[in-house]
Structure 1
Amino acid sequence: MDLSCFKAYDLRGRVPDQLNPALAERIGRAYVEVTGARKVIVGYDIRLSSPDIADALSSGLMAAGADVFDIGLCGTEHVYFATSHYRMDGGIMVTASHNPKDHNGMKMVASESRPISSDNGLNDIRDRVPEPFANAPQQGRYETLDVMDAYIDHLLGYVDATSLKPMKIVVNAGNGGAGLVVDALEQHLPFEFIKLHHEPDGNFPHGVPNPILPENRAITAETVLNHQAAMGIAWDGDFDRCFFFDETGRFIEGYYIVGLLADQFLRKTGGGKVIHDPRLTWNTLDLVRAAGGEPVESKTGHAFIKQRMRDEDAVYGGEMSAHHYFRDFAYCDSGMIPWLLVAERLSQSGQSLSSLIDARIEAYPASGEINRTIDNPPKVIQAIEEAYGPDAVAVNHIDGLSVEFETWRFNLRMSNTEPVVRLNVESRADKPLMETKTEELLAVMERLNNS
């Protein structure tokens, strides 16, 4: 049995050879046997294969004795919300996010929407799948559950509706599921939405929704300019990530959005802890401390960030990869709460998004994440630490290698899934220095790789 769809954090694979209804049925049975869940939320994304895989998954869950609450076509965060809001024992979202259209997958959570990954149950589920199954003495029941109204009410609770001002916002759902939520929110908000690729369509007529790819950004940027919109927002397929464009059509690096959201959130809470990843940090540290918060560094990756947020009771967590986590959202990531908070900030401050971001880019210019294929990543990273570490102010290994000097810093880390090393560099208000050090490090990496 091919179980290669099981990854570190979730399941993803080609349909039908790596994931299909027959395998999905067995995964449902294994999920119940490993977790002991009796009440499970099931939702699915817009992919053409998703309804059949979700049906088979539900059959397996019920055969193992669990009651299934089917929330239908939705985003990953609907499953997170429904699992915690309705106090279910677990939830499974059928999605492959931004993978190619012939792929599908699953994201699994336990009670309180705690992530199930390879270190806390996902490998056990994988190992249970090939073994024989017996039906439970009593089959679980099936029920549909409409969560949209409760979810929309929850989203609106993050902003002060009376402070929101009319503005034009370009929204690009990429033919994923985000358009359904924008339509549901629209009646409650004073915004005029210019909608791109809005209809859910698993054929992905405009390509797989992945706004992090530069070639996918142009239409959102151009539409912002053509309509003189206040900002643009684009989502991936299951809309657990959102990406921002300012009123000039410029794509904003996720790093600067983390700082903006931390600042906006701490203004509401009057303090608290904020979790951030180690790749780029100085802008976030600066803004969090200035707003009376306490920054806490965590290893990159949603399972690590969510656990650290629970451990610290943090109000907000952000990764530069455009994942944003909220304590009141079961410590989970949402692609809808962030843009509502940014719209609120624009309304309250009267400032443009570019003016809010420009000052931060100037204060802490950053390279953005640069990937290089390296034959022996551990050897190269160790050699760079030996070269740069002795003169550094600080060196840490929370996630890969972080090396800090008075005026610049860098993080170098290995990919979990491919022979790639990811580099991020930033400086204190010195863009030429950041660019020089970025080129220098890339040259050193290439030399070490070829030696």
Structure 2
Amino acid sequence: MIKPEVFRQYDIRGIVGEDIDEESFYLIGKGFGTYLHQKGLSSLVLGGDARLTTPSLKEAFARGALETGCTVIDLGMVATPVLYFSIWKLKTDGGAMITASHNPSNYNGCKLNLGLDSVYADELQKVLHIIQKGEFASGSGTYTINTSVNDDYKDYIISGITLERPVKVVIDAGNGVGGLYLPEILENLGCEVIKMYCEPDGSFPNHHPDPTIEKNMQDLSKKVVSEGYELGIGLDGDADRIGVVDEKGKLLFGDQILNILARDYLRHNPGKSVIVDVKCSKNLYDDIIKYGGVPIMYKTGHANIKMKMKELGVEFAGEMSGHIFLADRYLGYDDAIYVSCRFIEVVSKTDAPVSTFLADQPKMYNTPELHIACSDDRKFEVVAKVCDELKAEGYDVLDIDGARVNFPDGWGLVRASNTTPVLVTRFEAVTEERMKEIQQLIESKIYKYL
């Protein structure tokens, strides 16, 4: 049988051999195939990342889906955004991507799609319930292999990007699948590219494939500075999250990347809304207003953001975590390969260094995203208790996703991660001392209930 706890908020994820195995993925394939069948649908694209366990898990998923009568188009090893692109390009009913994104190499998982929409939350639970009941559709599906979509994807991106001058950029793909795409695309656009760790290797021998964490970007930062290049771009394991370092080797937070892109978007689309998640800096919200946009704060999570974009008809959104979504000139999903090209397009419009792009903003002192270990079965309860206590004490609390506590001179956040057994916190204020005061206030309440 399958462990229900691997069905998380946005996807399926666990440690291979402990939480998930080939039998699990055979059942997930049957469950998802039945889920599609119940909606009168049957076709799906199937892809996988570079993890060493992905081929066998992908084969098991395909076997299960085929037994429900699905048409399965196997894309082989691809980036997650390439799988999304193939759903659009090949006009399939759905898709399944075998990946654990930026998790360590002993993890794997699966992201499911209905069209370009994520199957998540209650809909993902429906797949689990189908598996638990064992009531599967039955049929004889068809299996084909398609690798041509990779070239279609590259051509599509190249055709939609215009650089005003060549840009010197270092790419660190973290030995994930993004290295198969981004360097070639940028070279075709005329960039001078230095490649680092662009060969897919599911053991991730050089560093953990999460480009939003400073220690993972150290080699990239050193290379950018030593070579005198303009910027460096890092990708996560399945290339749906982006990290950027400037010409001085300094890592930009996800909300700063979003801020730079938002300015460019709003120059061409004044008055439009931009969705940003609860972990983002006050500077970003203020800057969106300054540049004529309307900031909308929403829950963290790529599936949540995509759903809200669709609901409100918004073209541009992003998260602190490096997921950035563009329906402006693109297809609306989180694609770090395409977002990298859009960022470089912005860089090409000026000779100013990347480090100066946000230099006109007020100085704010902030932490990166911080994690406090807390078990999956207690994390939401702890956050709820902290939130209730802060409200009872009269603080200004936004509780759309955990508790974001706003002050005239700063803010603090605590929320439960939807993917790992941790509480996520972040703090920001006009002075470092005040930032630490806010951090102390909120952390003291967290530790009271841990």
Q: TM-score, normalised by structure 2?
A: 0.90
- Indicate the residue corresponding to 1:280 in structure 2: 280
- The Cα shift of 1:426 comes to 2.5
- The Cα shift of 1:418 comes to 5.8
**2:215 matched to 1:212?**
no
TM alignment of 1:194-273, pairs within 5 A = 194-273=194-273
- Indicate the residue corresponding to 2:392 in structure 1: 386
Cα deviation digits, residues 37-77 of structure 1 (max 9, x gap): 31101111111121222122122222211111111111111
- Indicate the residue corresponding to 1:70 in structure 2: 74
Q: CA–CA distance in 2 between the matches of 1:18 and 1:440?
A: 36
Secondary structure in structure 1 of the residue aligned to 2:62: helix
What amino acid is aligned across from residue 54 of structure 2 in structure 1?
Answer: S
- The Cα shift of 1:242 comes to 1.0
Deviating more after overlay: 413-422 vs 303-312: 413-422
- The percent identity for this pair of structures is 28
8 Å Cα contact 2:50/2:177 also seen in 1? yes
What amino acid is aligned across from residue 160 of structure 1 in structure 2?
Answer: T
8 Å Cα contact 1:41/1:92 also seen in 2? yes
1:137 to 1:178, Cα distance in 2 relative to 1, 3 A: closer
- The Cα shift of 1:210 comes to 2.0
8 Å Cα contact 1:274/1:295 also seen in 2? yes
What amino acid is aligned across from residue 138 of structure 2 in structure 1?
Answer: A
8 Å Cα contact 1:158/1:337 also seen in 2? no
Q: CA–CA distance in 1 between the matches of 2:442 and 2:273?
A: 34
What amino acid is aligned across from residue 288 of structure 1 in structure 2?
Answer: I
What amino acid is aligned across from residue 119 of structure 2 in structure 1?
Answer: I
- Indicate the residue corresponding to 1:94 in structure 2: 98
- Indicate the residue corresponding to 1:119 in structure 2: 122
1:183 to 1:407, Cα distance in 2 relative to 1, 3 A: closer
8 Å Cα contact 1:233/1:243 also seen in 2? yes
Unmatched segments (≥5 aa) in structure 1: none
- Indicate the residue corresponding to 1:406 in structure 2: 408
- The Cα shift of 1:216 comes to 1.8
> What is the total number of aligned residue pairs between the two structures?
439
Deviating more after overlay: 274-283 vs 62-71: 274-283
Q: CA–CA distance in 2 between the matches of 1:107 and 1:90?
A: 11
- The Cα shift of 1:269 comes to 3.3
Unmatched segments (≥5 aa) in structure 2: none
Secondary structure in structure 1 of the residue aligned to 2:359: helix
What amino acid is aligned across from residue 68 of structure 2 in structure 1?
Answer: A
Secondary structure in structure 1 of the residue aligned to 2:252: coil
TM alignment of 1:8-47, pairs within 5 A = 8-36=9-37, 37-47=41-51
TM alignment of 1:345-424, pairs within 5 A = 345-360=346-361, 362-373=362-373, 376-387=382-393, 389=395, 394-416=396-418, 420-424=422-426
TM alignment of 1:280-359, pairs within 5 A = 280-327=280-327, 329-359=330-360
8 Å Cα contact 1:158/1:341 also seen in 2? no
1:133 to 1:421, Cα distance in 2 relative to 1, 3 A: closer
- Indicate the residue corresponding to 2:52 in structure 1: 48
8 Å Cα contact 1:177/1:239 also seen in 2? yes
8 Å Cα contact 2:174/2:235 also seen in 1? yes
Q: CA–CA distance in 1 between the matches of 2:448 and 2:201?
A: 46
Secondary structure in structure 1 of the residue aligned to 2:212: coil
Cα deviation digits, residues 296-321 of structure 1 (max 9, x gap): 12111112111110011111101111
Q: CA–CA distance in 1 between the matches of 2:384 and 2:86?
A: 41
- The Cα shift of 1:157 comes to 4.7
- Indicate the residue corresponding to 1:148 in structure 2: 150
Cα deviation digits, residues 23-44 of structure 1 (max 9, x gap): 3222212112112231101111
Secondary structure in structure 1 of the residue aligned to 2:325: strand
Deviating more after overlay: 1-10 vs 438-447: 438-447
Q: CA–CA distance in 1 between the matches of 2:447 and 2:100?
A: 37
Cα deviation digits, residues 239-258 of structure 1 (max 9, x gap): 11010111111111112112
- The Cα shift of 1:281 comes to 4.4
1:175 to 1:268, Cα distance in 2 relative to 1, 3 A: same
Q: TM-score, normalised by structure 1?
A: 0.90
1:435 to 1:282, Cα distance in 2 relative to 1, 3 A: closer
8 Å Cα contact 2:255/2:280 also seen in 1? yes
- The Cα shift of 1:10 comes to 0.8
8 Å Cα contact 2:167/2:347 also seen in 1? no
Q: CA–CA distance in 2 between the matches of 1:132 and 1:407?
A: 55
8 Å Cα contact 1:273/1:312 also seen in 2? no
1:225 to 1:413, Cα distance in 2 relative to 1, 3 A: same
Cα deviation digits, residues 199-228 of structure 1 (max 9, x gap): 111232224312334432211111111111
Q: CA–CA distance in 2 between the matches of 1:372 and 1:23?
A: 30
What amino acid is aligned across from residue 200 of structure 1 in structure 2?
Answer: P
Q: CA–CA distance in 2 between the matches of 1:387 and 1:190?
A: 57
1:411 to 1:158, Cα distance in 2 relative to 1, 3 A: farther
Secondary structure in structure 1 of the residue aligned to 2:273: strand
Secondary structure in structure 1 of the residue aligned to 2:169: strand
Could you tell me which of 93, 112, 123 is aligned with 1:108?
Answer: 112
Q: CA–CA distance in 2 between the matches of 1:446 and 1:411?
A: 11
